[in-house]
Amino acid sequence: TLARNLCGDVEWSAQDATRTERDFLRRCVEAAIKAGATTVNIPDTVGYTVPEEYTRFMRTLIERVPNSDKAVFSVHCHNDLGMAVANSLAGVAGGARQIECTVNGIGERAGNAALEEVVMAINIRNDRFPYWNKIDTTMLTRASKLVSAATSFPVQYNKAIVGRNAFAHESGIHQDGVLKDASTYEIMRPEMVGLKQSSLVLGKHSGRHAFVHKLEEMGYKLGANQLEDAFVRMKALADRKKDIYDEDIEALVDQEIAASHDRIKLTSLTVIAGTHGPQRATMKLDIDGQTKIEEAEGNGPVDAVFNCIKALVPHEAKLELYQVHAVTEGTDAQAEVSVRLAHEGRSMTARAADPDTLVASAKAYLGALNKIVMKRQRDVPVAAAG
């Protein structure tokens, strides 16, 4: 009631609704609507229900709540049994008109219903799900990559809709069918979810105009300085890597944007590694415009690199996550490294890419460390003017 006096739409949510005693849940929902709730969320908090059950459950609940017509019912499904999307659509069939979901299906434990899967299921099978939404499906792939970059949670290759293999056909029979008629084995076109069909796009002889055109095609809008820096980095990458793919450009530009305000920047790195340890790293950093150099040993080259950083920038952050994967195919592919650091109860994540895995590792660690430094700056109270 207090919230309704402050805003027009108040959502009330049950806890573990699918395992709650039905009559008790009905009375709670009725009371919540009477108090002013305009959206009522009925979550499957632990991912326990199944589609047919959830449809009957939602339909019966809405029918038996006397004032149900005064609120919009919502579903919020977890994926513990792998049925979050199916259950969400089943809930809508039972009368819900709002689906709570997440990009890439991220969420605690096994995650939540994946937005991109829900949207495309309604889009492609509108004959079975005659509902509508205002989602621009051509932005799904970009949104997926943005969330993956921000969270440092990579999207699995066989993920529906936005996974790298979602539109890949390896079987000879499948390939032949797709070449003759794409609809033979593709129930949706890649362009529908914003996936471009271009493959090799740029190289060491590509000009600025081609680079700008490619960025615009991929949805990037950079300022003049960022554009210049990104172009220089693209040319440098082209000198080291024969073919530049869209994924290379995405990694390059995302890193450029993320590092634009960094106080700590990698200037150079040399690592000595091999079967005879200990491994040793020599690193030069630019810290607030000042150059600092350090050498450190480690139990492996990555450990040596991170020890160098700790010596140059003393900190108490704990490494929670270190992941490496190739941006594209081939032995000259860029390595993309994800790092998550825990500091004072919060986690900071960063990703970086480079043809050299150790350089990418250093940049990713520094990216997360820069976020900690920036947060520490924001948390320092500003002294009052005398």
Per-residue model confidence (pLDDT) at position 176? 53
Q: Which residues contact 193 (CB under 8 A, 6 or more apart)?
A: 116, 120, 137, 138, 140, 141, 161, 162
| pLDDT mean across residues, the chain | 86
Residue 95 has a CB neighbour count (10 Å cut-off) of 17
pLDDT tens digits, one per residue of 198-230: 444 566 677 778 888 778 777 677 778 888 888
Longest dimension (CA), the chain: 79
Per-residue model confidence (pLDDT) at position 247? 74
What stretches of 219-291 show up as alpha helix (H) in DSSP? 224-240, 246-258
| Amino acid found at 152 | S
DSSP state of 230: H
Please report how many Cα atoms fall inside a 13 Å half-sphere around the Cα of residue 177, on the Cβ side: 12
Please report how many Cα atoms fall inside a 13 Å half-sphere around the Cα of residue 337, on the Cβ side: 21
Per-residue model confidence (pLDDT) at position 378? 60
The dihedral through the CA atoms of 358, 360, 363, 365 has a sign that is negative
Pairwise pLDDT comparison (288 vs 253), residue with the higher score: 288
CATH class of the domain defined by 264-379: alpha beta
- The span from the CA of 354 to the CA of 69, in Å, is 56
Structure tokens at 64: 């038996």
First to last CA, the chain: 45
Q: Which residues contact 106 (CB under 8 A, 6 or more apart)?
A: 112, 147, 151, 153
Tell me, yes or no, if the pTM score tops 0.85: no
pLDDT tens digits, one per residue of 95-119: 999 999 999 999 999 999 999 999 9
pLDDT tens digits, one per residue of 342-376: 998 888 888 888 999 999 999 999 999 998 887 76
Per-residue model confidence (pLDDT) at position 178? 45
Please report, for the chain, the start and end positions of each structural domain, with discontinuous segments joined by +.
Answer: 205-258, 264-379
- The span from the CA of 56 to the CA of 38, in Å, is 22
- The span from the CA of 295 to the CA of 312, in Å, is 9
Classify strands 318-326 and 335-343 as parallel, antiparallel or unpaired.
antiparallel
DSSP state of 129: S
Say if residue 315's pLDDT is above 50: yes
pLDDT tens digits, one per residue of 9-48: 999 999 999 999 999 999 999 999 999 999 999 999 999 9
- The span from the CA of 352 to the CA of 51, in Å, is 41
Per-residue model confidence (pLDDT) at position 380? 55
- The span from the CA of 101 to the CA of 269, in Å, is 43
Per-residue model confidence (pLDDT) at position 287? 92
- The span from the CA of 359 to the CA of 101, in Å, is 36
State the residue for tokens 């693209």.
234
Q: Which residues contact 194 (CB under 8 A, 6 or more apart)?
A: 137, 138, 139, 140, 141, 142
CB 215 within 8 A of CB 222: yes
Pairwise pLDDT comparison (378 vs 171), residue with the higher score: 378
| Amino acid found at 186 | E
CB 66 within 8 A of CB 32: no
CB 335 within 8 A of CB 301: no
Say if residue 179's pLDDT is above 60: no
- The span from the CA of 356 to the CA of 120, in Å, is 38
Per-residue model confidence (pLDDT) at position 382? 46
